[in-house]
Amino acid sequence: MVHFDLDLLLIPLVAVLAPLLTRGLGRWVRIPVVVFELVLGILIGPSVLGWAFPSDFVSTLSQLGLAMLFFVAGTEIDFQALRGRSGSRAGIGWLISVAVGVAVGFLIAPGEGAVIVGIALASTALGTLLPILRDAGELKTPFGKAVSALGTVGEFGPLLAISIFLGTRAPGRATIVLAVFLLIAAGVIWYAFRAPQGRLHDFVTSTMHTSGQFAVRIVIFLIAALAFLSIALDIDMLLGAFIGGVVWRLMLRDADEQLREHVESKIEAVAFGFLVPVFFVYTGVTFDLASLLKNPVLLALVPVALILLLIVRGLPSMLAAPVGSKSRDRFSIALLGATGLPIIVAVTGIGVDKHLISSGIAAVLVGAGMLSVLLFPLIGMSLRGERDLVSTVEEEDSA
């Protein structure tokens, strides 16, 4: 008799309920669907109802979902946003964030645990912010480009830091190995950028509505190949998935708009219709709520960690604000820059697995990340002023 794990029913059920709740409450308050996925995951998990429990199979699907999330983030990078003033200041802001974050980490966890805390506090959830900016019509504005630059640096920077400081090698050797990986990735990116892609586009088009589905298959292959290379070199798998998204974006750069939209819809269907919700729901299932509830000190630290996110990541993010920004726009950028969750989940998971931080500290940081996704974009976009920024901003950004 075939054993049926209840998780295989409950997690898809939660994935269906989450957007319904988002839609139902949307008339009063806009809450990202990821928040409901996490909260419902906690509800059905061991800490509350005890209906769903961690399992190897769902854990594997969850890791694929996390990889897919970073692949999609790689496809949505706006390289122009990294040029000029906003890009350079976003980079400087992230360096300040990670330095302050690690300093704070030493007060919480010794040794490499401080690096875990520092990376978590210095992250930005690009994949969460881009849909919000897109829906608000902000992606092409100086404000939106500044936030995109912050998100790109706040996601790519932590991935590099994880690969250097949290692998099995010493930081010096890890840096050399990372350089080799980036050199290989740069070669792949160069080929994707320079090689003619006309035949690829034609083949993608011809299989778009057939069982061939070449676009989806090549995306899965890109993720698998670069993730395999990352693992073989003992580099974080998410970096490979992220680079894979960049490569795919370049491969389709010259395709007509209709083809790009069709391919994007299929990739998003696989990502946000299946794998990514599994990751967030399973994160809720494995969330150590019991540690927070049993320890009032840890529970009280969740809002403290949320404030730390705003200070450590949010305040330096204001450096990337366009020239002429109003005070409320600068604070809005600070809130959006401090919105973090996927990297926090990933890096604290590494920390717990390697016994560098306790599950309680991980729960505090993940809880703060969940609150940041719930509150910061909502407040930040509410504070967003009129789009009357100085017109010379775009000229400065393109300089």
pLDDT 10s digits, 46-90: 888 888 888 888 888 888 888 888 888 888 776 766 777 778 898
- pLDDT-derived band at 168 (thresholds 50, 70, 90) equals low
Confidence of residue 169 (pLDDT cuts 50, 70, 90): low
The share of the chain scoring above pLDDT 70, in percent, equals: 93
Residue 378 has pLDDT above 50, yes or no: yes
**Mean pLDDT score of the chain:** 83
Distance CA 289, CA 108 (A): 19
Decide if 294 is inside a domain. yes
Q: What was the pLDDT predicted at 293?
A: 83
Report residue 338's pLDDT band, with 50, 70 and 90 as the boundaries: very high
Rg (the chain; Cα; Å): 21
Residue 138 lies in a domain: yes
- The CATH number that applies at residue 60 is 1.20.1530.20
How much is the average pLDDT of 336-354? 88
Give me the percent of the chain exceeding a pLDDT of 90.
18
DSSP per-residue codes, 277-292: HHHHHHHHHH--HHHH
166 domain residue, yes or no: yes
The pTM of this model reads 0.81
Going by C-beta distance under 8 Å and a sequence separation of 6 or more, which residues neighbour residue 120?
Answer: 101, 340, 343, 344, 347, 348, 365, 369
- The count of other CB atoms within 10 Å of the CB of residue 348 is 24
Which whole number is the average pLDDT over 205-209? 85
Q: Would you state the pLDDT for residue 333?
A: 93
DSSP 187-211: HHHHHHHHS--HHHHHHHHHTTTST
The predicted structure's pLDDT at residue 170:
66
Structural domain of 328:
54-397
Task: Give the DSSP letter string of 1-42.
Answer: -----THHHHHHHHHHHHHHHHHHHTTT----HHHHHHHHHH
Report the pLDDT averaged over residues 319-340.
90
Average pLDDT over residues 286-300: 85
**31 domain-assigned:** no
Stretch 252-266: mean pLDDT, rounded?
Answer: 83
Average pLDDT over residues 315-325: 89
- The SS3 of residue 46 is coil
The model's confidence at residue 372, banded by pLDDT at 50, 70 and 90, is: very high
pLDDT at 1 over 50: no
Determine the pLDDT at residue 398: 41
Q: Residue 308 is encoded by which pair of tokens?
A: 């730390």
What is the count of structural domains for the chain? 1
Residue 293 lies in a domain: yes
Higher pLDDT, 327 or 7: 327
Instruction: Please report which confidence band the pLDDT of residue 101 belongs to, taking 50, 70 and 90 as the band edges.
Output: very high
Token pair, residue 201, equals: 């586009």
335 SS3 class: helix
Which range, 114-118, 131-135, 188-192, 351-355, is most confident? 114-118
Calculate mean pLDDT across residues 357-384.
88
Position 117 confidence tier, pLDDT thresholds 50, 70, 90: very high
| Residue 320 falls inside a structural domain | yes
Q: Which of 67-76, 140-149, 190-199 has the lowest mean pLDDT?
A: 190-199
The answer as to whether 90 is a domain residue is yes
Check residue 3 and give its pLDDT: 45
Residue 20 lies in a domain: no
From residue 383, give the alpha-carbon distance in Å to each of 33, 141, 150, 173: 21, 16, 18, 45
Residue 9 has pLDDT above 70, yes or no: yes
Residue 387 has pLDDT above 60, yes or no: no
